[in-house]
Amino acid sequence: MPNKSFAQRMKEHQIIWAGKNGLDQLLEKRNDTQPSWVLKKEHKKRNLQDATWWKHIEGREHLWSRALNSSQCFGVNLFGPLAINRSLAKQALTDTLFQRQELEGGDEVTVLFEHTPEDAPEWLGETKQATQVDVFFTVKRMEKPIGFLLVEVKYTEQGFGSCRGAVKSIPTKPGNPDSKRCENLQAVLENPKKMCWMAEAENGRHYWDFMLAPSTPFNFSSETACPFRQSLYQLMRNQVLAIALVQKTKADWAEFGVCIHPRNEEVRQLKESVAGHNNPLQSFNELLPNQKKLIEINPLDIIELVRSNDPSFSEWADWMISRYDLH
């Protein structure tokens, strides 16, 4: 099949990888003749290089976390060594993930997965689907949290999510009764609680309160329609949470980054340009305050940093490169 999508290529790669590594009998049988890429429920932990790492997502598993192409498990497999080795986590922040914040010798770094800070739903007005950060770094100095790094992980996904408020309401799936409002950004900016369905009392989201705050103003000057209606929605929610963490806690800073499989080009293409760009990361950076640009994380950088600093993870590094066809 010519011009296969990256997602299809990776699905086929995972099926081949499973066969080479003796996992065929652990996969759930399909009703058709096509090969499976989903582990049986009782074997879900085999989706991780170290089965004990499942504790990091226990109770917060994605619907298809047992699929071999699970982005959630890709993230746990990649950042797992940093979660169990704090010195590696600190090294990653210092050497690989960003250079904008200085860490001191006594600082401690911890890593959590699928994490929602305790009071975040209240800050953001999220009564149902609270923002869960794929990989959440906390930097403590003398036992006090001074900074955070929030990371969104993408494996084979083709986008960063769209706002459900932009979807036209239908009887079988009621929603925004007037989604055309999403095309009038100026009206939304002037009165979010009236013009944004997600900010109305029924949904009560506070995202605009943070994006329009004088201390962290987003730049919407180039847009006529809401830039989050068809793209960039997950990026916005993570960035707003990062802003809220600084405003609502005693932390000095919070950064936001994305970690994408290096050959996933589809996720880097918008269907409609935003802020003059077709690349969602470039588009989002145009919307952000100058001091809040996205951090891009290459999975290979994490793998090589871990391998070079802790030889006991050499087998893990080889496994990651083979499992996810990273090169």
Digit-coded pLDDT (tens) for 274-313: 999 999 999 999 999 876 789 999 999 999 999 999 999 9
**For residue 200, with 0-12 CB atoms within 10 Å meaning exposed, 13-18 middle and 19 or more buried, which class applies?**
middle
User: Measuring CA to CA, which residue among 188, 189, 171 is closest to residue 180?
Assistant: 188
**Residue where a domain stops, chosen among 199, 223, 245:** 199
State mean pLDDT over 31-57.
Answer: 94
Last residue of a domain, one of 199, 223, 251: 199
- Residue 247's nearest CA partner among 100, 148, 151 is 148
The mean pLDDT of the chain is 94
Residue 215 lies in a domain: no
pLDDT of residue 249 exceeding 90? yes
User: What are the C-alpha distances in Å from 204 to residues 126, 129, 141?
Assistant: 7, 12, 35
CA distance 101 to 95: 11
Buried b (16+ CB within 10 A) or exposed e, 238-266: bbbbbbbbbebbebeebbbbbbbbeebee
pLDDT above 80: residue 207: yes
In a domain, 207, yes or no: no
**Spatial distance between the Cα atoms of 269 and 282, rounded to a whole number of angstroms:** 10
142 and 172 inside one domain: no
Q: Tell me how many domains the chain contains.
A: 2
Q: Rg for the chain (alpha carbons), in Å?
A: 21
Choose from 32-41, 211-220, 253-262 the range with maximum mean pLDDT: 253-262
Strand order in the sheet with 253-260: 108-115, 133-141, 144-154, 253-260, 295-297
Residue 213 is assigned to a structural domain of this protein: no
Evaluate whether residue 225 is within a structural domain.
Answer: no
C-alpha span between 106 and 143 (Å, rounded): 10
Q: Is residue 112 packed enough to be buried (19+ CB in 10 Å), middle (13-18) or exposed (0-12)?
A: middle
pTM for the predicted model, two decimal places? 0.95
Instruction: Enter the tokens of residue 271.
Output: 């269907």
| 3-class DSSP assignment, residue 154 | strand
DSSP 279-293: SHHHHHHHHS-TT-P
pLDDT of residue 289: 80
Residue 322's pLDDT is: 97
pLDDT of the residue at 39? 96
Mean pLDDT confidence for 192-205 = 94
Shared domain for 195 and 251, answered yes or no, is no
CB 279 within 8 A of CB 273: no
245 & 279 share domain: yes
For residue 136, give its domain range: 6-161+231-323
| Residues 43, 85 within the same domain | yes
pLDDT band at 2 (very low <50, low <70, confident <90, very high): low
258 domain-assigned: yes
- 148 forms beta bridges with 138, 254
Q: Are 175 and 36 contained in the same domain?
A: no
Spell out the alpha helix ranges (H) of the chain.
Answer: 6-20, 71-84, 86-91, 120-124, 185-190, 192-195, 207-211, 233-248, 280-287, 299-309, 314-323
